[in-house]
């Protein structure tokens, strides 16, 4: 126990000496938070729209009003004919074109099935996500206008038509204002933890390899498990502190609610760190230089884990094969934990499958890494 | 400036990087891996939202409504619930993303001409998916209402508005087509900045930079010699990504290749200059890597319009994006690859890219000439 403590103290002293890493450890998370908190936003608003109104009737103006009134579409220009739309979309000055053909007003007034009022919406598909959402809004606007038009019409008898209708009453749980920020910001915790408890320990071990001090340590009476624990525990402590720091920022600065218990979050974070620490140690046994360690950690581990885990991009939209592969990625379970505890207020009663998966993966990886590490010492 | 001296520095640089096959492999392998990740894993096309249905009515009308949800392929009926099911647990365990509740007597009320409230519960944690699902549901309900009205109109012929959506350049609205051009900008920035910064700092760490300085090399020759190999590698990576995009995802370059590579060249000069600048403020490779990744990766992902639309950002952040070259490069690249346009359609964006390249390279030259690198 005494020897273990000595290695831990040594590791902390070494960390403190490497002063340039400290700003990187603090500034990095803050910049990530700001980027994900403010820039990561898929909400669609103010889509620039060019108008071709060949009808110029009160009915067509009313329709344009419906498009521009909601704040989703901004009218940026008008043209006389559909042929003139091309440069607007190519140069990106407009993303959507609304074309109301001649005779729209007449068709609305007369409204026979053989001669429906015709509206064309042209979208620039290069920005697939916002164009898709934009077209969705457009079809909602037109469906609303169409339904009103039909309802306002009178049957030959003179009375208004009576018909039952559905009214959609949406209720959104956990994130009632549908802010994308609430989805993205807690993810920063996972990213920071990967940096602090996977990349940094792997580099710390490789540095000792490069300088040759690891060899010196291996000839001391230290047992290899003491060496492993002594190396990893400081980063475990740093990781837990970072988790608390970022949680404070997430709730304080970005007003994301922490509905569940901090204790549950801390416990499940500890389980997640078993995996990240193990992976960091594993990487250190595979490479010779710090540059290789960084490259391996960032590009082979961190980036794919972030993208395939549903941390930022939903797993549900991926091809079947990727969805199955995502079960092997520990970050997936931790992403569920973060969202469950922060937004849904879930406890262990709901999150126990995640806890078990994290524990299983963590112990496996850590054991594997320790075995390889011991071999590399001999 | 002596081309032979530049050439020998460049040759030395190539030899040196070929001795580290792991790093070189990453330089070429990472772009391909990113392409696969983005091409297959990053997808905003929301389909098959897991929907649980609580049909308290069980009438012909309610079944018809549920069928219209499922047939749209936007929703999958994953569970039929009885009244009083534990909806909270269902959504908390993510078994269902949405719950549709049809009240008892819906069919009867509809026939009697009354309004029937339909409750749609949404799991709002993933706001983007929830917004899209809500949009689908509103459109489906609106369509059902129009049908009801048309049926009630009897012999009177009724016509709702004939909506003709058209999508140009990407008719199926595939995320991949939208992501690939942005991905090229992101990868080029990352590899160019990191490889130059690290290669210069490595020479600083080992003291070989001092040795290079006491030779007869001029600062300009040293800069050119150190950056040219990485320019070559980055352009090769561009060609690789384009080929992979063509064969894996069927994305062909619609515009002229010459314009595409010209734009990439200007963009890369700026990126390599940024790498030199990063090397001038870093003493160790670890710091160079951290700083380089931060200044190249974060803006190119978050502030360039690559994934997240600039229009949706707060005002202050929108202003910051004007200083991010990837922002302009994305516009040009999407234009050339997807819209088949030439550079002449984007004079403003190209001007910004040229300006950025000149400014950054100029600054790097000044710092290197003052022996600060």
B2 inside 8 A of chain A by CB: no
Task: Say if the Cβ atoms of B23 and A313 lie within 8 Å.
Answer: no
Residues A203 and A118 in one domain: no
CB-CB contact of B275 with A6 (8 Å): no
The phi, psi pair for A127, rounded to 5°, reads -100, 85
The torsion defined by the Cα of B29, B30, B36 and B39, in degrees rounded to 10, comes to -140
Token pair of B172 as six digits? 């199926």
In a domain, A53, yes or no: yes
| Residues from chain B contacting residue A140 (CB–CB below 8 Å) | 135, 138-139, 142
**Least-confidence region, from A188-192, A210-214, A363-367:** A210-214
| Residues from chain B contacting residue A39 (CB–CB below 8 Å) | 302-303, 308, 313, 317
How many domains, chain A?
Answer: 2
Task: Note the pLDDT tens digit of each residue in A250-266.
Answer: 999 889 999 999 999 99
The torsion defined by the Cα of A83, A84, A88 and A91, in degrees rounded to 10, comes to 80
Token pair of A321 as six digits? 């094969």
Q: How confident is the model at residue A132 (pLDDT cuts 50, 70, 90)?
A: confident
Task: Say if the Cβ atoms of A164 and B111 lie within 8 Å.
Answer: yes
- A119 → closest Cβ in B109, B158, B164: B164
Task: Say if the Cβ atoms of A135 and B167 lie within 8 Å.
Answer: yes
Task: Say if the Cβ atoms of B127 and A178 lie within 8 Å.
Answer: yes
- B138 → closest Cβ in A153, A155, A168: A168
CB-CB contact of B303 with B182 (8 Å): no
| Residues from chain A contacting residue B153 (CB–CB below 8 Å) | 150, 153, 155, 161
Residues A220 and A369 in one domain: yes
Long-range contacts, B131-135 (Cβ 8 Å, 24+): B131/A43, B131/A133, B131/A178, B132/A132, B132/A133, B132/A136, B132/B46, B133/B46, B133/B49, B133/B74, B133/B75, B133/B97, B133/B98, B134/A170, B134/A172, B135/A133, B135/A136, B135/A137, B135/A140
| Residues from chain B contacting residue A290 (CB–CB below 8 Å) | 285-286
- In the predicted structure, residue A87 carries a pLDDT above the cut 50: yes
Residues A188 and A322 in one domain: yes
Rounded CA gap, B33 and B30, in Å?
A: 5
Task: Say if the Cβ atoms of A112 and B334 lie within 8 Å.
Answer: no
- B161 → closest Cβ in A145, A166, A291: A145
CB atoms within 10 A of CB A167: 11
Residues A279 and A328 in one domain: yes
In a domain, A191, yes or no: yes
| Residues from chain A contacting residue B130 (CB–CB below 8 Å) | 172, 175, 178
CATH code of the region B49-152: 3.40.1710.10
Rounded CA gap, B181 and B169, in Å?
A: 13
CATH number at residue A102: 3.40.1710.10
- B152 → closest Cβ in A163, A295, A303: A163
Q: How far is B125 from chain A (nearest CA, A)?
A: 6
Q: How far is B118 from chain A (nearest CA, A)?
A: 5
List the 337-356 stretch of B: residues with Cβ below 8 A of A: 338-339, 341, 345-346
B322 inside 8 A of chain A by CB: no
| Residues from chain A contacting residue B109 (CB–CB below 8 Å) | 164
Task: Say if the Cβ atoms of A131 and B134 lie within 8 Å.
Answer: no
Residues A208 and A299 in one domain: yes
List the 36-75 stretch of B: residues with Cβ below 8 A of A: 37-38, 40-50, 65
Rounded CA gap, B39 and B28, in Å?
A: 17
Local confidence pLDDT in tens for the 373 residues of chain B? 778 888 888 888 888 777 777 667 767 777 778 888 877 777 777 888 999 999 999 999 899 999 999 998 889 999 888 887 888 888 888 888 899 999 998 888 888 878 888 999 998 888 888 888 888 888 888 888 877 776 766 544 455 667 777 778 877 777 778 888 888 888 889 888 988 888 888 888 888 777 777 777 787 888 888 888 889 888 888 888 888 888 888 888 988 999 999 999 999 999 999 999 998 888 887 778 878 888 888 888 888 888 888 887 888 888 999 999 999 999 999 899 988 888 988 999 999 999 999 999 999 888 877 765 4
Strand partners, B101: B54, B119
In a domain, A159, yes or no: no
Q: How far is A303 from chain B (nearest CA, A)?
A: 9
Q: What is the DSSP letter of A326?
A: G
Q: Please state the rounded mean pLDDT for residues A203-211.
A: 85
Token pair of A325 as six digits? 């592969």
In a domain, A291, yes or no: yes
In terms of residue numbers, what domain contains A81? 47-152
Count Cβ–Cβ pairs < 8 Å, chain A vs chain B: 366
pLDDT at residue A53, as a whole number? 93
Task: Say if the Cβ atoms of A174 and B124 lie within 8 Å.
Answer: yes
| Residues from chain A contacting residue B168 (CB–CB below 8 Å) | 89, 122-125
In a domain, A164, yes or no: no
Residues A208 and A301 in one domain: yes
ipTM metric? 0.76
Residues A128 and A108 in one domain: yes
CB-CB contact of B324 with B193 (8 Å): no
The set of residues, in sequence order, having a beta carbon less than 8 Å from that of A218 and lying 6+ positions away, is A227, A377, A378
Q: What is the mean pLDDT of chain A?
A: 85
Element (H, E) at A122: strand A118-124
Which parts of A18-118 fold into alpha helices (H)?
21-34, 58-69, 86-90, 104-110
List the 302-321 stretch of B: residues with Cβ below 8 A of A: 302-303, 307-309, 311-314, 317
pLDDT at residue A24, as a whole number? 62
In a domain, A157, yes or no: no
Q: Strand B49-55: give its sheet, edge to edge.
A: A165-173, B115-123, B98-102, B49-55, B75-81
Q: How far is A267 from chain B (nearest CA, A)?
A: 19
In a domain, A239, yes or no: yes
| Residues from chain A contacting residue B152 (CB–CB below 8 Å) | 161-163
In a domain, A167, yes or no: no
Q: Residue ranges of the domains in chain B?
A: 16-42+174-369, 49-152
First to last CA, chain A: 22
Among B24, B33, B73, B128, the strongest candidate for a mutation testing the A interface, having the largest count of A CBs within 10 A, is B128
Q: B87: nearest CA in chain A?
A: A173
pLDDT at residue B363, as a whole number? 92
Among A72, A173, A289, the strongest candidate for a mutation testing the B interface, having the largest count of B CBs within 10 A, is A173
Residues A247 and A203 in one domain: yes
B293 inside 8 A of chain A by CB: yes
Residues A195 and A68 in one domain: no
| Residues from chain B contacting residue A46 (CB–CB below 8 Å) | 311
Q: What is the DSSP letter of A158?
A: S
- A124 → closest Cβ in B137, B169, B175: B169
Residues A26 and A66 in one domain: no
- B298 → closest Cβ in A35, A41, A164: A35
Residues A266 and A335 in one domain: yes
């Amino acid at each position: 126990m005494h020897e273990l403590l000595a290695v831990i103290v040594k590791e902390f002293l070494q960390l403190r000496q490497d002063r340039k890493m400290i700003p990187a450890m603090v500034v990095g998370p803050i910049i990530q938070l700001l980027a994900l908190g403010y820039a990561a936003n898929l909400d669609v608003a103010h889509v620039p729209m060019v108008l071709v109104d060949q009808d110029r009737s009160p009915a067509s103006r009313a329709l344009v009003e419906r498009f521009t009134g909601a704040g989703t579409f901004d009218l940026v220009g008008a043209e006389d004919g559909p042929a003139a739309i091309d440069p607007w979309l190519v140069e990106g000055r407009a993303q959507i074109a609304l074309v109301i053909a001649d005779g729209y007003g007449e068709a609305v007034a007369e409204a026979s099935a053989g001669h429906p009022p015709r509206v064309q919406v042209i979208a620039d598909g290069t920005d697939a996500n916002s164009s898709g959402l934009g077209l969705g809004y457009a079809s909602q606007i037109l469906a609303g206008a169409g339904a009103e038009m039909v309802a306002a019409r009178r049957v030959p008898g003179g009375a208004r038509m009576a018909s039952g209708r559905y009214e959609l009453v949406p209720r959104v749980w956990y994130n009632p204002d549908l802010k994308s920020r609430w989805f993205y910001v807690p993810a920063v915790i996972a990213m920071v933890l990967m940096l602090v408890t996977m990349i940094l320990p792997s580099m710390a071990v490789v540095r000792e390899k490069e300088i040759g001090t690891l060899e010196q340590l291996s000839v001391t009476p230290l047992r290899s498990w003491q060496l492993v624990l002594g190396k990893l525990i400081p980063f475990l402590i740093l990781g837990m502190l970072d988790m608390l720091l970022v949680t404070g920022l997430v709730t304080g600065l970005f007003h994301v609610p922490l509905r569940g218990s901090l204790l549950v979050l801390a416990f499940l974070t500890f389980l997640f760190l078993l995996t990240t620490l193990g992976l960091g140690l594993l990487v250190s046994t595979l490479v010779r230089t710090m540059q290789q360690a960084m490259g391996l950690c960032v590009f082979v581990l961190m980036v794919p884990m972030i993208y395939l885990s549903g941390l930022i991009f939903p797993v549900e939209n991926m091809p079947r094969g990727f969805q199955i592969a995502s079960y092997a990625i520990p970050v997936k379970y931790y992403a569920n934990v973060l969202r469950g505890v922060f937004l849904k207020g879930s406890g262990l009663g709901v999150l126990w499958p995640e806890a078990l998966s994290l524990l299983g993966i963590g112990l496996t990886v850590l054991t594997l890494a320790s075995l390889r590490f011991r071999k590399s010492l001999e | 400036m002596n081309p032979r001296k530049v050439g020998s520095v460049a040759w030395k640089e190539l030899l040196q990087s070929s001795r580290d096959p792991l790093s070189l492999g990453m330089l070429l392998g990472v772009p391909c891996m990113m392409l696969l990740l983005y091409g297959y894993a990053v997808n905003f096309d929301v389909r098959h939202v897991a929907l649980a249905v609580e049909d308290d009515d069980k009438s012909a009308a309610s079944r018809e409504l549920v069928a219209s949800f499922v047939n749209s392929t936007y929703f999958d009926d994953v569970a039929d619930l009885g009244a009083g099911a534990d909806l909270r647990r269902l959504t908390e365990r993510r078994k269902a993303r949405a719950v549709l509740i049809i009240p008892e007597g819906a069919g009867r009320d509809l026939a009697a001409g009354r309004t029937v409230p339909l409750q749609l519960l949404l799991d709002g944690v993933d706001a983007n998916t929830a917004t899209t699902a809500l949009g689908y549901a509103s459109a489906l309900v609106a369509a059902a209402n129009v049908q009801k009205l048309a049926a009630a109109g009897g012999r009177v012929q009724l016509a709702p508005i004939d909506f003709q959506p058209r999508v140009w350049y990407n008719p199926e609205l595939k995320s991949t087509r939208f992501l690939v051009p942005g991905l090229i900008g992101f990868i080029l920035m990352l590899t160019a900045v990191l490889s130059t910064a690290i290669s210069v700092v490595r020479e600083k760490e080992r003291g070989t930079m001092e040795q290079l300085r006491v030779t007869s090399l001029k600062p300009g020759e040293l800069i050119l010699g150190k950056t040219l190999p990485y320019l070559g590698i980055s352009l090769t990576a561009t060609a690789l990504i384009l080929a992979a995009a063509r064969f894996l995802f069927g994305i062909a370059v619609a515009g002229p290749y010459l314009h595409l590579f010209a734009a990439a060249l200007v963009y890369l000069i700026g990126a390599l200059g940024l790498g030199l600048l990063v090397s001038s403020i870093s003493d160790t490779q670890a710091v160079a890597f951290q700083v380089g990744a931060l200044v190249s990766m974060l803006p190119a992902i978050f502030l360039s319009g690559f994934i997240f639309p600039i229009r949706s950002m707060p005002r202050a952040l929108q202003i910051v994006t004007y200083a991010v070259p990837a922002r302009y490069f994305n516009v040009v690249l999407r234009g050339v690859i997807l819209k088949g346009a030439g550079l002449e359609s984007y004079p403003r964006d190209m001007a910004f890219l040229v300006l950025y390249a000149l400014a950054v390279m100029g600054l790097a030259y000044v710092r290197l000439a003052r022996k600060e690198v």
